[in-house]
Structure 1
Amino acid sequence: MSDKFVGKWNLESSENFDEFMKEVGVSFLTRKAAGCVKPVLEFAVSNAGGHWRMTSTSTFTTWNCEFDLDKEFEQKTADGRTVKSIFTFENGKLIEKQTKIKADEKDSRYERYIDESGKLIIAMECGSVKAKRVYTKAT
């Protein structure tokens, strides 16, 4: 099932992404820059689906995240925060739970899945704020 994620994905649309970033604690300037770019997201999976690499590339930056499923690790997020993260794979969805390290930050949750039309959906939640980003597979 993880094979469906492998490859490059182009951002097609975003819903409520600025409000989500604001709730997570992303600065105004970083939010505005992130809202203007259309990143390419790439997934690579190895070790029988247990080890993943996720790379987001835009005109401003390249961000990498490597992880093993079901193992908590310290992660530097694309916006510069440091969180404790754990990725699990449940019912065809790659679930990421980010737990705050600093008291003034917030926990967040991401669900990545391929919908019935073959698009990559990233549904994110922080507090009461929900957002969604939709990606199409690059050819």
Structure 2
Amino acid sequence: MAEAFIGKWRLTSSEKYDEYMIAIGVGQVTRKMSNAATPINTISMDGELIKISTSTTFKNTEIMFKLGEEFNETTADGREVKSLVTLDGNKLIHVQKWDDKETSLVREVNGDSLTLTLTFGDVVSTRSFMKVE
């Protein structure tokens, strides 16, 4: 089912993203640049390995992982986290843990739309993407 996520996805809308970044501790300058960016997420697979690349005019990031295997990740805002990504139906669930904190990034595909729901405590941000390739 992970094949449904493969492709290039462009951000089309974002709700409560600044509130989410404040909650996880992102500084003001990084938040301003991130809020102004229109990222392109590219998701690809090579066997069991999944790669998610995010490109903006501000910063490019890339993670590679196998479903169900914990890995070390340096986030775009510089946090060093332990991550685990699992697949539950049509949802790709990415959990990040650091300093006794935890956030989840849930990607869900519906046709040519991808919804990313970011949750930290009671703060929930929703970002919508449209498939461009």
TM-score tier after normalising by the smaller chain length: over 0.9
Partner AA of 1:132 in structure 2: T
In the alignment, is residue 137 of structure 1 matched against residue 106 of structure 2? Answer: no
Map of 1:85 onto structure 2: 83
Root-mean-square deviation (Å): 1.1
Distance 2:88 2:117 in 1: 14
Map of 1:56 onto structure 2: 54
What is the CA distance between 1:51 and its match in structure 2?
1.3
Which structure is higher in strand share? 2
Identify the match of residue 122 of structure 2 among 108, 111, 128: 128
What is the CA distance between 1:60 and its match in structure 2?
1.3
In the alignment, is residue 114 of structure 1 matched against residue 112 of structure 2? Answer: no
What is the CA distance between 1:46 and its match in structure 2?
2.0
Partner AA of 2:104 in structure 1: R
Q: State the TM-score, normalized to the length of structure 2.
A: 0.95
Q: State the TM-score, normalized to the length of structure 1.
A: 0.91
What is the CA distance between 1:3 and its match in structure 2?
1.6
Partner AA of 2:103 in structure 1: S
Q: Deviations over 1:94-117 (max 9, x none)?
A: 0011111x35xx3101110112x5
In the alignment, is residue 20 of structure 1 matched against residue 35 of structure 2? Answer: no
Distance 1:59 1:118 in 2: 24
Gapped regions of structure 2 (runs ≥ 5): none
Aligned pair count? 133
Map of 1:32 onto structure 2: 32
Q: Deviations over 1:12-38 (max 9, x none)?
A: 000000000110111111011100010
What is the CA distance between 1:118 and its match in structure 2?
2.6
What is the CA distance between 1:92 and its match in structure 2?
1.3
Gapped regions of structure 1 (runs ≥ 5): none
What is the CA distance between 1:127 and its match in structure 2?
1.0
Partner AA of 1:68 in structure 2: K
